[in-house]
Each structure stands twice: as C-alpha cells, then as structure tokens.
C-alpha cells in the first residue's frame, strides 16, 4: 500500500471573475522510502500540490489518503496532529522563528506534541547533531548563514521522526555549493529509509531522485518512478 | 508545559519590542498606580478620620445641642429654657437607656495666663467626673477633681498638655517634660491650682513624625523650631483635645456663671448681672449601642417635658459623623475607581491594538507554527497569554509606581494622614489587569487562530 494516495485532486482559485485551476485532476501514489521530486515551471502548481500533500491545504475536490488515513474527513485538530507527527516541512525561506534560539526552534514541534522539557532538549540536541549544528544551539537564527539556517529547519523537520519530509525549493535561496550540501543531506536521509518529497524547478536536482513527477499547468505531465520501472540505479554522490 | 513556553515566547516578543510594549503598558501602569495609590490615600484619610473620631470621644457619644426652635414654635422662643442641670437631673432619674451623662458649662472669652505667657484653650469648661469616660481622657499626672473640690467649688483645674506647652514650655523645646502640678495659673484673672494633667494625645502620623524629629534633633542646631511639621495643626481634633482646661462644674457656676447673665441696673446705679444657668453641652453615652435609636427617643421625650414642649435642642450622634466619613470615603473611592477604570480601559485598547499589529507582523510565523503542528487553540492561547503577560507586567509596574507615588505624596505633605498601601486594592488591580489582558487579547487571538496556514505561509 502506498504511503500517499492522491486521487483526482482539483484546486481552483477564484480571482475576481477569473478561475485559476492551480491543480487540475492530479492523481499519484508515493511509496514509503521514495525520494520523490515534484518539478515544473514557476506557477505550475507545485507548491499547491505540496501543501495539499502536507495537509496544510484542502483541495477543492478529490481525495487524499496518507498513511492509511482519509485526510478529507479529518478535523482541523486531527490535521494539526498529522502535521505534527507524520510530516516534516522544510521551506524555501527557512521559516525559523526569529525570537527563539536554534535549540528552541528545533524544540517547537515537540512543544506542540506536549513533550516534557528534558526530553525535548535531548531530542532537539540529537537532531542538531544530525545536521552538525550542536555547537550553535544558543544562537539566534539571524546569527547564522543561510545554509546553517536551512540545516536548523531540517533538524526541526526531523525531530518528531515524521513519516514524510516535504521540502519546497529548499535550495532555492542558497548558493549552489550550500545547496549541494543540503541536497547531500536529503540523500543521506533517503538512504536511512525516509520518505522525502522535494519540490524544485531545477531539472538537475530532479534528476537525482528516484521518483520524478513533472507538473505543468496543474496537471501531471510525467510520472517516472524508477524503482517501479526497474530503472533504479545508484544515485551519484555528487553532481 | 505548553503554558510556560507560551509565556516565555510572549516575554521574548514583549522584550523584542521594549519601547512599544512600554508605551502599550502605560495605560495599565497608570490605571493600576492610580488605583493602588488612591486606595492608599483613602485608607490614610479613613484612618485619620477614625482617629479623630476616637479623640472626640468615640463612636458611642451622643451630644445634645442647642437648636433654633422650629417655625411653628417661634412665638414661644423667649420661653425656651435651654439646657440646664434640670435636664441632667431628669435624664439621670428617667433615662434608663442612658449609661453616662456629662454636663458641661463653658467659659466664654477664656484666657489662661502665667507669668508673661498666655494660652487660649480650645475650651474651658466646668465638668464632672463623667467627662473622663465621655471624652476618653486619662489623667496621667496628678489627679482629677475630688468630690470635695466639687462640693466646695475649689479653684482647681486639670489641663491638657497643650496648655502646659504654652505656659511652661513643650518638652521638645525645653528638653525635659515639665509636670506643672501644684502650679498656679490665672484663668480669666482668677487663680487656679493645677491638680492634674491629661495624657498627650496625637495621631499615629504625628507620633511618627515627632519621633523622627526627636531622632534628628541631635544633628540639628537647637533653637528656632516652633510650630513646624510634627506639631498638631491648630483646630484639628487632637489639638482641641490637648488644649482643654477643666474645672469643677460648681466652681464654674460660682466663680463665673452665677453673675454672667442679663445685666440689671440697680436704683443706686450699680450694675448687677443675672445668673446664667445654661449648660453648653450635655453629652451622653447609651447603655446599648444597638439600641441607640430607642435611647435617643427616650432622651428626646424626657427633654420635651423639661423644656415645656419647646424643641430648642437637637440630638446629634457620631453616627452622623461616621456617615459623613463613609460618604467621603465612598466618594474618594468612586473617583479613584473611575480614573483607574478609564486608564485600564485605555490600556486595554492599547494592548488590543498592539496585539493586532503583532499578529499581522507574525502572520508568517503563525503559519509556520501551524505547519509544525500547532492547533488553533495553541495559537489562541499563545496570543492570549502574551496579552495577559503584557497586562500583568503593566500591573506590576503600576504597583511599583504606586509605592513611588505614595512616597512622593508623603514627602510633599507630611502633615496629612499618611497613605497606607493595602493588599486588597493590589489584588483587585492585578485581577482587573488580568481581565483587561484577556479581553484585549481575545479578539486578536481568535483572529490569529483562524489564520489559514497557507495564506499565512504565502504572506509576504
Ligand atoms: N491564494 C491564491 N489565490 C489565487 N491564486 C493562487 C493562490 N495561490 C496560488 N495561486 C495560483 O495557483 C497557481 C499555482 O501556484 P503555486 O502552486 O504557488 O505554483 P509554483 O509553486 O509551482 O510556483 C499560480 O498560478 C498561482 O498564481
Ligand atoms: Mg512555489
């Protein structure tokens, strides 16, 4: 059974009298352990798709099944729990809370799951070790470089040990070298067996992933799953 | 745990906008400060008024006072007898609800002299032993009049410390307490022997100031320091209490009043005065304070008989005075409360304004928190806690400001009754601020909780 099942998703915005079909009949499956990329030009509906997959947004029509659960029937509180427990987000603009230090930022998802202070701190430090930033735990986000901030965001996404990690153009705001380091990290998580969904408009990045979904004008233009097609090959360590 | 985190995040946000937060809190600070300081001033006032009430003889003292005859009896006015010993006798024999009767016969234009010094007493009255309990006096030095003094109309007097201060020197000026028992003073030209002196009476406040002055005395140069700070103000209840001259009522009658009435010119040209038997005051204390109304009715009935049905008197209770005091206190509380309420209202609006600005600034942060699993309730609680924290910080600052304010007031007018800061208004102020914080934060918190996470994340 796939981890994510998306069936005939439509998302329609009304802007003035105009109807914008951000997503227009999208159906797709994502399996556990997939390293999946969603690629397409700007405005094609990638972010919208990711937000629906990440239970942040609800579709105009269609169904989404995540880890066996029908998302369209869930209450806002259940959705919050799903986002908290099963999903980790990494954003293009890092989205760290500026007034909290690095450690507190990483602790935040565990605050919402109601974990005690000691355990929170230990797990947050563990996650920071994972992204090699344990010595920056007391710094403010503004005192870190872009790459470091994104690593903090990644630690924050990992800390509740989610089933899926969503990353919306995680390298979009970084120079190419730092971007590669971040991508290396995602590859590492993939090798550890995590499910990753990466949104990008860069074909070179998409080429690194095992499952490539191309989206154009809200429709799926190509869906190439190399693991299913038997085309799976070792992913090169660097581009 | 979550609450603690919410408070910490809230405090950080407040700290991040120090000046903005400070200005926002100003309304609350002013409101709380005025509430607490006002209450302290009112409390001081209340204490002062109660002290002087006791100085004047306590709450259970009832006075019978002269009053113009009512309109419908005006044709009988020249037959009105006034208060006399006949009333006292009648009351003593018939007023069963009365425990104590103290007749007072006063001396007009009273002056006491000794050597070159002159004192003007607050009152010079002929009294009986009942006056001690009536006016709550304690003879500290010497003795009160004996029955012998009363019977023989002896020329003896008991004085308050104020008279001693004027004629013999105050302890603060002389450096030692003079006890003038046995000394002779001249009361309107008649020699009187001082046989007793009352205790010194003063308010808490004056006592403190006097002790302070005493301590500082060593450091200061001796000399010109008359009539400064710690002295009771002329005409206040304590000044009056300390500046009495009491003589036996019979002495008053024989020496002064038996020839002080209407003057008559004799055939040989000499002028003789009629006796003036009127009492200046009849004070009574009732047996049972709970039955004061019945006692007053009884007294009135008896006096109507002795006064031939002419109502030339009025019965005045301290209750009226207490009522006055309470009214003053209520008014002061009310105006203080209104000022405080308005300030708190303004403070609340300020907080709401700032919280709305704050959530609009943090719309992306709120979206991020929702993406990380925050529920609407989490966000709601966060904003509410921040608003309440802001209000409570304001309240705290307000309480501190109140302490400062009270210090300033005390320094500015040391002769007033010193304000007393009590905990009740503080608790009320804090509770109100908390309520204001909740009310002010409610709308912004709901707004923030309802932010669509996507809109919040896309918001630039
Ligand atoms: N809130 C909205 N209101 C109207 N149109 C929107 C809204 N959000 C997204 N869109 C439109 O939906 C389309 C897809 O947007 P998006 O998913 O952000 O694209 P991408 O991430 O691929 O750049 C775009 O045309 C965008 O203008
Ligand atoms: Mg996008």
**pLDDT tens-digit series, residues B169-201:** 988 888 888 999 999 999 999 999 999 999 998
Going by their DSSP bridges, the two strands A35-39 and A164-168 should be labelled as unpaired
Residue at token pair 């925050």: B374
Q: Give the end of a domain, one of B224, B256, B286.
A: B286
Burial class (CB in 10 A: 0-12, 13-18, 19+), B455: exposed
The ligand minimizing its distance to the Cα of B458 is: 1
Give the list of residues 6+ apart from residue B213 with CB closer than 8 angstroms, or none: B172, B229, B230
Tokens, residue B92: 């003593």
Question: Does a structural domain hold residue B295?
Answer: no
Q: Are residues B248 and B195 in the same domain?
A: yes
Distance A222 CA to ligand 2 centre (A): 18
Tokens, residue B207: 């006592």
Given CA atoms B232, B233, B235, B237 in this order, what sign does their dihedral have? negative
Residues B101-132 have pLDDT tens digits of 999 999 989 999 998 899 999 999 999 999 99
- Render the burial of B116-127: b for 16+ CB within 10 Å, e for the rest: eeebebbbbbbb
Contact: A83, B369; criterion CB under 8 Å: no
3-class DSSP state for residue B159? Answer: strand
pLDDT surpasses 70 at B286: yes
B422 near A CB under 8 A: no
User: What is the residue-averaged pLDDT of chain A?
Assistant: 87
**Taking CB atoms and an 8 Å cutoff, what residues of chain A touch B371?**
54, 56, 83, 89, 91, 95
Mean pLDDT over A35-41 rounds to 91
Contact: A160, B9; criterion CB under 8 Å: no
Interface test with A, best of B1, B2, B371, B451 (most A CBs within 10 A): B371
Question: Does a structural domain hold residue A175?
Answer: yes
What radius of gyration, in Å, describes the C-alpha atoms of chain A?
Answer: 18
Contact: B9, A100; criterion CB under 8 Å: yes
Mean pLDDT over B204-226 rounds to 64
Q: How far apart are CA A105 and CA A97, in angstroms?
A: 6
Residues A105-145 have pLDDT tens digits of 999 999 888 888 889 999 999 999 988 888 988 999 999 99
Residues B339-383 have pLDDT tens digits of 888 888 888 998 999 899 888 888 888 999 999 988 888 899 889
The β-bridge partners of B102 are B283
Question: Does a structural domain hold residue B93?
Answer: no
3-class DSSP state for residue B437? Answer: helix
Which A positions 23-82 lie with beta carbon below 8 A of chain B? 51, 54, 56-57, 76-77, 80-81
Could you tell me how many CB contacts below 8 A there are between chain A and chain B? 72
- At residue B458 the predicted structure's pLDDT band, cuts being 50, 70 and 90, is confident
Q: How far apart are CA B303 and CA B305, in angstroms?
A: 5
Number of H helices, E strands in chain A: 8, 10
Contact: A80, B374; criterion CB under 8 Å: yes
Cα distances from B178 to residues B192, B218, B244, in angstroms, run: 18, 20, 17
Q: Are residues B199 and B260 in the same domain?
A: yes
Instruction: Give the ipTM of the model, two decimals please.
Output: 0.89
Q: Are residues B241 and B381 in the same domain?
A: no
Q: How far apart are CA B39 and CA B332, in angstroms?
A: 9
Determine which residue's CA is closest to atom 6 belonging to ligand 1: A13
Question: Does a structural domain hold residue B317?
Answer: no
Q: How far apart are CA A54 and CA A50, in angstroms?
A: 6
- At residue A235 the predicted structure's pLDDT band, cuts being 50, 70 and 90, is very low
What per-residue confidence (pLDDT) applies to B1?
52
What per-residue confidence (pLDDT) applies to B223?
45
Higher pLDDT, A230 or A4: A4
Question: Does a structural domain hold residue B371?
Answer: yes
Domain assignment of residue B160, given as a range: 98-286
Number of structural domains chain B divides into: 2
Ligand 1: does its nearest atom lie under 6 Å from the Cβ of A75?
A: no
What per-residue confidence (pLDDT) applies to B233?
55
Q: Give the end of a domain, one of B268, B286, B304.
A: B286
Contact: A97, B368; criterion CB under 8 Å: yes
pLDDT surpasses 60 at A229: no
Of B13, B371, B377, the CB nearest to A99: B13
Tokens, residue B388: 């309440």
Higher pLDDT, A237 or B152: B152
Domain assignment of residue A213, given as a range: 4-234
Q: Give the end of a domain, one of B233, B264, B286.
A: B286
Question: Does a structural domain hold residue A239?
Answer: no
What per-residue confidence (pLDDT) applies to B336?
84
Ramachandran angles phi, psi of B196, nearest 5°: -155, 160
Question: Does a structural domain hold residue B291?
Answer: no
Mean pLDDT over B15-25 rounds to 84
B143 near A CB under 8 A: no
What per-residue confidence (pLDDT) applies to A208?
82
The pTM of this model reads 0.71
- What is the CB neighbour count within 10 angstroms for residue B254? 15
- At residue A239 the predicted structure's pLDDT band, cuts being 50, 70 and 90, is very low
Q: Closest Cα partner for A157 from B368, B415, B76? A: B368
Tokens, residue B274: 């009629």
Distance A90 CA to ligand 1 centre (A): 19
Mean pLDDT over A28-36 rounds to 90
DSSP character at residue B30: H
Contact: B373, A114; criterion CB under 8 Å: no
Q: Are residues B196 and B281 in the same domain?
A: yes
Q: Are A83 and B381 in contact (CB under 8 A)?
A: no
Number of structural domains chain A divides into: 1
Residues B64-109 have pLDDT tens digits of 988 888 888 888 878 888 899 999 999 999 999 999 999 999 998 9
Question: Does a structural domain hold residue A71?
Answer: yes
Across A200-209, B97-106, B402-411, the highest mean pLDDT is recorded for B97-106
Q: How far apart are CA B429 and CA A82, in angstroms?
A: 43
Q: Are residues B252 and B389 in the same domain?
A: no
DSSP secondary structure string for all residues of A56-78: SS--SEEEEEETTEEGGG--HHH
Contact: A108, B369; criterion CB under 8 Å: yes
- At residue B235 the predicted structure's pLDDT band, cuts being 50, 70 and 90, is low
Which A positions 75-134 lie with beta carbon below 8 A of chain B? 76-77, 80-81, 83-85, 89, 91, 95, 97-100, 108-109, 111-117
CATH number of residue A159's parent domain: 3.40.50.300
Question: Does a structural domain hold residue B115?
Answer: yes
pLDDT surpasses 60 at B221: no
Give the number of the atom of ligand 1 that is nearest the alpha carbon of residue A215: 22
Q: Are residues B13 and B121 in the same domain?
A: no
Residues A52-94 have pLDDT tens digits of 999 988 899 999 998 888 888 889 889 999 999 999 999 888 8
What radius of gyration, in Å, describes the C-alpha atoms of chain B?
Answer: 33
Q: Are B240 and B119 in contact (CB under 8 A)?
A: no
What per-residue confidence (pLDDT) applies to B219?
58
3-class DSSP state for residue B184? Answer: strand
Q: How far apart are CA A5 and CA B188, in angstroms?
A: 115
Give the number of the atom of ligand 1 that is nearest the alpha carbon of residue A11: 12
**E strand or H helix that includes residue B432:** helix B423-449
What per-residue confidence (pLDDT) applies to B258?
87
What per-residue confidence (pLDDT) applies to B176?
87
HEC string of B185-242 equals EEECCEEEEEEEEECCCCCHHHHHHHHHHHHHHCCCCCCCCCCCCCCCCCCCHHHHHH
Give the list of residues 6+ apart from residue A236 with CB closer than 8 angstroms, or none: A208
What per-residue confidence (pLDDT) applies to B305?
92
Question: What is the nearest CA distance from A157 to chain B, expressed in angstroms?
Answer: 8
- What is the CB neighbour count within 10 angstroms for residue A57? 20
Mean pLDDT over B207-236 rounds to 59
Mean pLDDT over B226-232 rounds to 44
DSSP character at residue B351: H
Residues A138-150 have pLDDT tens digits of 999 999 998 899 9
DSSP character at residue B181: T
């Amino acid at each position: 059974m796939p981890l994510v099942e998306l069936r005939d998703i439509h998302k329609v915005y009304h802007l003035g009298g105009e109807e914008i079909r951000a997503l227009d009949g999208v159906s797709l499956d994502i399996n556990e352990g997939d390293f999946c990329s969603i690629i397409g030009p700007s405005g094609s509906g990638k972010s919208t798709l990711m937000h629906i997959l990440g239970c942040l947004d609800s579709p105009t029509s269609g169904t989404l099944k995540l880890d066996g659960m029908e998302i369209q029937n869930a209450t806002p509180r259940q959705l919050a729990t799903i986002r908290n427990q099963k999903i980790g987000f990494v954003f293009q603009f890092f989205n760290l809370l500026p007034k909290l230090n690095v450690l507190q930022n990483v602790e935040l998802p565990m605050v919402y799951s109601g974990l005690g202070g000691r355990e929170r701190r230990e797990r947050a430090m563990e996650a920071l070790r994972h992204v090699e930033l344990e010595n920056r735990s007391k710094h403010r986000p503004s005192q870190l470089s872009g790459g470091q901030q994104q690593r903090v965001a990644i630690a924050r996404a990992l800390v509740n040990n989610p089933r899926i990690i969503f990353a919306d153009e995680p390298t979009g705001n970084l120079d190419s070298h730092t971007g590669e380091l971040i991508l290396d990290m995602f590859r590492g998580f993939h090798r550890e067996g995590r499910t990753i969904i990466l949104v990008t408009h860069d074909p070179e990045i998409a080429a690194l992933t095992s499952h490539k979904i191309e989206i154009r004008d809200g429709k799926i233009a190509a869906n190439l799953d190399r693991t299913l097609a038997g085309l799976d090959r070792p992913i090169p360590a660097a581009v | 745990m979550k609450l603690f985190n919410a408070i910490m995040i809230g405090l950080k946000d407040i700290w991040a906008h120090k000046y903005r937060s400070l200005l926002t809190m100003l309304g609350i600070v002013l409101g709380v400060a005025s509430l607490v300081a006002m209450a302290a001033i009112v409390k001081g006032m209340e204490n002062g008024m109660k002290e002087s009430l006791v100085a004047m003889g306590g709450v259970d003292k009832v006075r019978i006072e002269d009053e113009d005859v009512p309109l419908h009896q005006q044709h009988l006015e020249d037959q009105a007898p006034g208060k006399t010993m006949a009333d006292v006798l009648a009351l003593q024999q018939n007023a069963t609800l009365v425990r104590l009767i103290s007749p007072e016969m006063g001396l007009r234009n009273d002056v006491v002299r000794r050597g070159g010094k002159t004192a003007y007493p607050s009152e010079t009255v002929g009294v009986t032993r009942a006056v001690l309990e009536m006016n709550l006096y304690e003879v500290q030095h010497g003795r009160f009049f004996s029955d012998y003094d009363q019977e023989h109309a002896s020329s003896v007097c008991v004085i308050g410390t104020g008279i001693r201060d004027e004629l013999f020197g105050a302890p603060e000026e002389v450096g030692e307490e003079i006890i003038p028992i046995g000394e002779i003073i001249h009361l309107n030209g008649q020699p009187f022997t001082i046989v007793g002196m009352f205790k010194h009476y003063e308010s808490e406040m004056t006592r403190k100031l006097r002790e302070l002055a005493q301590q500082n005395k060593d450091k200061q140069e001796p000399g010109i320091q008359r009539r400064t700070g710690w002295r009771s103000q002329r005409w206040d209840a304590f000044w009056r209490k300390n500046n009495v001259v009491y003589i036996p009522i019979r002495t008053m009658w024989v020496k002064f009043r038996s020839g002080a009435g209407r003057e008559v010119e004799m055939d040989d040209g000499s002028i003789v005065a009629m006796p003036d038997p009127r009492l200046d005051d009849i004070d009574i204390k009732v047996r049972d304070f709970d039955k004061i109304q019945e006692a007053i009715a009884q007294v009135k009935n008896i006096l109507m008989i002795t006064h031939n049905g002419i109502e030339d008197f009025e019965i005045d209770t301290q209750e009226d005075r207490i009522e006055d005091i309470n009214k003053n206190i209520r008014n002061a509380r009310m105006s203080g409360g209104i000022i405080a309420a308005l300030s708190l209202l303004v403070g609340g609006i300020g907080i709401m304004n700032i919280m709305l600005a704050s959530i609009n600034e943090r719309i992306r942060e709120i979206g991020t928190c929702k993406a990380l699993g925050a529920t609407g309730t989490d966000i709601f609680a966060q904003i509410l806690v921040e608003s309440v924290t802001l209000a409570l910080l304001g309240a705290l600052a307000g309480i501190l400001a109140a302490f400062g304010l009270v210090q300033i007031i005390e320094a500015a007018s040391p002769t007033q009754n010193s304000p007393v800061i009590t905990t009740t208004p503080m608790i009320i102020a804090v509770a109100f601020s908390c309520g204001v914080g909740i009310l002010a934060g409610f709308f912004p918190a709901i707004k923030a909780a309802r932010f669509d996470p996507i809109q919040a994340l896309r918001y630039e």
